[in-house]
Amino acid sequence: MREILGALLFAMVILVSVSLHEAGHMVTAKAFGMKVTRFFVGFGPTLFSFRRGETEYGVKGIPLGGFVKIVGMTAQDDDVEPGDERRAMWRFPVWKRTVVMSAGSAVHFMLAIAATWIVAMTPWGLPNPQVPQDVTKWPAMVKVTDCVVATPELRECQPGDPASPAATAGLREGDRIVAINGATVATFQELLQRTRDIKPGPAAIVYERDGQRQQATVDLAAVQRAPLGDPDGATVTTSAMGVGLIPPAPLKIQHGPVEAVGATGNFMVMLGERTFAAIKKFPEKIPALWASLTGAERDIDTPISVVGASRLGGEFVDKGIWEGFVQLFIGLNFFVGVFNLLPLLPLDGGHIAISWYERVRSWLAARFGRRDPGRVNYLKLMPLTYGVILVFGAFTLLTVAADIVNPIRLFP
């Protein structure tokens, strides 16, 4: 029940975010003097509405977003009443239209930034920039286990398991291993690989403790393991010293109100890099999404829909992990803000791109003494627009289907 309520709560949060997106368009349009006739939350049949001035506000029956109607968005729109010609959106300077069209994404960015700034000041904190996000780049700073498990499965120590060779040799938690059998070790990943390249038996270890280098001989244990990077591969006999990985510094840092500003900026940059990387990988994730509908294991890196995001939000609530709930909210808002600015119709970014194309085209015409070519005919762009809608619609249906049939699960 908690998971269902959590999913509904996250869906409501998404609906509020989208409504604020549309409110961003409306507020900026009204501020510039454009005519806004309708602002609705949801789609479908109207549940209720009221009018304030020239704008009708209301709620519709299908809570899957919202919309705002700005008169005369394009020169081809026929919704401009007599006397309102000068208030048609397409007649306003390009910078004003850009502000209005980008205001929706700006709202998503502001929500993500505000939530991140608040999180930075809580005990949850933000990622420590001194610690690489890629775990494979962490130095070989180790924690010493009590035993080694000779079999491939992941489990706790049990009676009869051999003692950890590292513990027997005197290594302690926090020691940083820098060499094994004379080969330099820079990361924990290298330590694992070099250990597996050595036959079970004595190995010379150089490690750092309290800034001092020391040496020890570790009697490597024989274990059964799958190849590194291929956990499903066939197991082979290899070596282990009984150590685990610990971060080189605290993974999260709590900040004061002023420090949180800079930390929030750094986090936004990192989030931007991840978002653009994820968008570029969309095409290659489609086969994995399709395979998940036919019974294949769902890849945790595949895209999710609003349905999937809500289910993940429900899981976080069910486990009491509110930090994950908030981080999901931040990531989703940032992603939607970026995605909506892509220069494709019918996205806001497409309208912005066309506005600036018109401006540049008119400037070039004046520069070369030619007649102003005027506004772009949106009717000629409709086939391209429908194509984008078809592709995005198909992708959305695919992600929704995958989220229903084979959803991503963060917890067993």
Mark whether 266 and 390 lie in a shared domain: yes
Domain span at 233: 135-245
> Of 220, 245, 270, at which residue does a domain stop?
245
Mark whether 335 and 386 lie in a shared domain: yes
Mark whether 261 and 360 lie in a shared domain: yes
> Of 189, 214, 245, at which residue does a domain stop?
245
Residue 40 lies inside a defined structural domain of this protein: no
Residue 204 lies inside a defined structural domain of this protein: yes
Residue 23 lies inside a defined structural domain of this protein: no
Mark whether 277 and 389 lie in a shared domain: yes
Residue 64 lies inside a defined structural domain of this protein: no
Catalytic residue among 3, 22, 56, 153: 22
pLDDT at site 410 = 81
The rounded distance, in Å, linking the Cα atoms of 91 and 301 is 44
Residue 309 lies inside a defined structural domain of this protein: yes
pLDDT at site 110 = 97
> Of 213, 245, 277, at which residue does a domain stop?
245
Mark whether 189 and 315 lie in a shared domain: no
Tokens of 368: 């070369």
Domains identified in the chain, total number: 2
pLDDT at site 152 = 85
Per-10-residue mean pLDDT of the chain, 412 residues long, equals 87 93 96 95 91 94 89 87 90 96 97 97 91 85 91 86 91 93 91 91 93 92 86 84 89 93 94 88 84 82 87 90 93 94 93 94 90 88 90 89 86 73
pLDDT at site 141 = 92
Cβ burial of 56 (10 Å; 0-12, 13-18, 19+) is middle
CB contact at 8 A, 203 and 242: no
Mark whether 233 and 367 lie in a shared domain: no
Mark whether 341 and 356 lie in a shared domain: yes
The rounded distance, in Å, linking the Cα atoms of 168 and 54 is 80
Question: For the domain that residue 166 is a member of, what is the CATH number?
Answer: 2.30.42.10
Residue 153 lies inside a defined structural domain of this protein: yes
Q: Which residue has the tokens 């005990």?
A: 123
Mark whether 177 and 127 lie in a shared domain: no
CA atoms within 13 A on the CB side of 179: 10
Mark whether 235 and 264 lie in a shared domain: no
Phi, psi dihedrals of residue 99, rounded to the nearest 5°: -60, -45
Mark whether 263 and 403 lie in a shared domain: yes
358 a catalytic residue: no
Count other C-beta atoms under 10 Å from residue 370's C-beta. 10
Mark whether 307 and 333 lie in a shared domain: yes
- Three-class secondary structure of residue 19 per DSSP: helix
Mark whether 266 and 121 lie in a shared domain: yes
- Three-class secondary structure of residue 190 per DSSP: helix
Residue 297 lies inside a defined structural domain of this protein: yes
First to last CA, the chain: 16
CA-CA-CA-CA dihedral for 110, 111, 115, 117, to nearest 10: 0
The closest of 249, 238, 246 to 195, measured between CA atoms, is 238
Residue 281 lies inside a defined structural domain of this protein: yes
